[in-house]
């Protein structure tokens, strides 16, 4: 655990007692602070009380005036669409807002590092799509090369729950916009911006606010190196803001469109990753036969991971070996197996239109399982990928309404996952892929996208056993 520093004896409110909130309370107490915890859920409050924490309604009476800081869990809105009542009370009382990520960066480095030959480093990854895969790839490549590393944040463990870092260790953090938006300290050694597409717009009052939340990772502390995906104008703009000149190699530009940026760049074109520095290609890797990284979007993830590892001093051959041995993450272009020349791929994490489009573009002919709670903006942006779809099998409580938005392709209303998988498997022909890429949230039928992906995997396992 990373003990929170600089708050000995201070009363600190902790709002939200899920994974990050309860871990923050423990780290605060371990560092000598006095956490005061609250959650609207009574079972969460009882769990905190069982660990000996003070539990009190932070908006009641004069409690707020006794607090030095309020630590807010990521799922709790602090500004848009409207502040949580406890957050609003803190704003009116002038109590400083923060989150576990801010506490982590405030507390990570300390005097004991003077004994290290190589100080630990932090890599922080943000963006709309590909954060998890990019973070996991970096972690995997480093681990396979023998370098100590931990993976945390929006994936794996909470940021304050990691082990104390070792000599030369690299901490890889996946950070969402909810986490970067509120953290008071953001000082990674290397920061990564994968891409930007509309998501969480209500939470950030539009696309500009969403981009601003991501941009804070680069603007607040100033990383030593920035790896920036430049396939969207926001990435181009961010790279331009961070670089002093076109040749400034503190910025590594990444593209899956194959167009190298100026200076240091890593690009993927027709399945080949290429690193260029000072106008010359210095290395190349064939990504086409890596089953766990299909499609241009995963090639962009590979480019970003490669760039980070090169910035950390890893040799290209070591990185290539790590890319080839990467097994993939559950629910993110996860290959589940094949039957009769038909592959089955679980991309339940494709909860928005942009990520679903990238999944559709990754395979030549698809039996597509889609549907759920449709997000703002509709499905029109999927059009470039629909030519790859042989037929769509629509699930979700509002499946008929969802199917109406899928123009120009054959659809079948299935409703539930078992029916969709069975029908897709019956129809599929050799060379096709049965793909779950919902382009929608899961909450109409499942607690989260993981549960949806697990259901798909279970149904596919039955199909494969019957072969």
Query: Among 408, 335, 420, which residue's Cα sits nearest to residue 372?
Result: 420
H-helix or E-strand spanning residue 96: strand 96-98
Q: Is 128 among the annotated ligand-binding positions? A: yes
For residues 350 and 381, the answer to whether their CB atoms sit within 8 Å is no
Distance, in Å, from the CA atom of 120 to the CA atom of 104, rounded to the nearest integer, reads 14
Distances (CA, A) of 467 to 34, 149, 337, 435: 59, 41, 12, 18
Distance, C-alpha 84 to centroid of its chain: 24
Is 130 annotated in some ligand binding site?
yes
391 is in an annotated binding site: no
Could you tell me the two tokens for 71? 């630590």
Q: Is 42 annotated as a binding residue?
A: no
SS3 244: coil
- Token digits of residue 331: 């629910």
Q: Which residue has the tokens 């890599």?
A: 123
Whether omega before 203 lies within 30 degrees of 0, making that bond cis, reads no
Q: Is 417 helix (H, G, I), strand (E, B) or coil?
A: helix
> For the chain, how long is the longest CA-to-CA vector?
68
Q: Any known ligand binding at 133?
A: yes
Tokens of 345: 């791929």
User: Where do we find the tokens 């123009």?
Assistant: 407
Asked whether residue 270 is marked as a ligand-binding residue, the answer is no
In the annotated binding site for ATP, the residues are 127-133
In the annotated binding site, the residues are 127-133
């Amino acid at each position: 655990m990373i003990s929170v520093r600089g708050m000995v004896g201070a009363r600190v409110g902790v709002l939200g007692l899920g994974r990050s909130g309860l871990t923050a309370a423990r780290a605060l107490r371990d560092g000598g602070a006095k956490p005061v915890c609250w959650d609207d859920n009574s079972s969460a409050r009882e769990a905190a009380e069982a660990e000996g924490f003070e539990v009190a309604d932070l908006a009641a009476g004069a409690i707020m005036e006794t607090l030095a800081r309020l630590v807010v869990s990521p799922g709790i809105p602090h500004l848009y669409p409207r502040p949580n009542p406890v957050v609003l009370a803190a704003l009116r009382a002038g109590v400083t807002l923060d989150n576990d990520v801010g506490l982590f960066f405030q507390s990570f480095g300390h005097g004991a590092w003077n004994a290290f030959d190589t100080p630990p480093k932090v890599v922080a990854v943000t963006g709309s799509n590909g954060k998890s895969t990019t973070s996991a790839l970096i972690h995997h490549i480093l681990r396979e090369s023998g370098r100590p590393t931990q993976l945390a944040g929006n994936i794996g463990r909470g940021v304050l729950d990691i082990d104390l870092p070792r000599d030369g260790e690299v901490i890889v953090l996946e950070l969402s916009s909810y986490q970067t938006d509120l953290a008071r300290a953001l000082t990674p050694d290397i920061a990564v911006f994968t891409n930007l597409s509309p998501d969480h717009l209500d939470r950030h009052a539009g696309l500009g606010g969403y981009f601003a939340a991501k941009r804070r990772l680069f603007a607040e502390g100033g990383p030593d190196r920035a790896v920036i995906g430049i396939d969207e104008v926001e990435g181009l703009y961010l790279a331009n803001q961070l670089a002093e000149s076109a040749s400034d190699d503190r910025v590594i530009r990444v593209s899956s469109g194959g167009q190298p940026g100026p200076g240091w760049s890593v690009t993927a074109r027709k399945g080949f990753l290429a690193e260029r520095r000072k106008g010359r290609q210095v290395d190349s890797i064939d990504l086409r036969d890596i089953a766990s990284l299909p499609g241009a979007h995963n090639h962009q993830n590979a480019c970003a991971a490669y760039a980070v590892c090169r910035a950390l001093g890893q040799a290209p051959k070591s990185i290539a070996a790590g890319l080839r041995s990467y097994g993939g993450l559950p629910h993110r272009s996860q290959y589940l197996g094949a039957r009769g020349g038909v592959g089955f791929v679980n991309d339940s994490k494709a909860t928005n239109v942009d990520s679903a489009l990238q999944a559709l573009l990754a395979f030549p002919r698809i039996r597509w399982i889609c549907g759920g709670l449709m997000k703002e903006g509709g499905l029109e942006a999927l059009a470039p990928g629909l030519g790859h779809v042989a037929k769509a099998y629509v699930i979700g409580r509002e499946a008929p309404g969802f199917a109406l938005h899928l123009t120009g392709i054959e659809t079948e209303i299935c409703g539930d996952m078992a029916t969709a998988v069975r029908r897709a498997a019956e129809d599929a022909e050799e060379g096709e892929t049965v793909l779950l890429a919902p382009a929608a949230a899961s909450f109409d039928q499942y607690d989260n996208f993981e549960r949806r992906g697990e259901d798909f995997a279970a149904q596919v396992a039955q199909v494969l056993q019957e072969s």
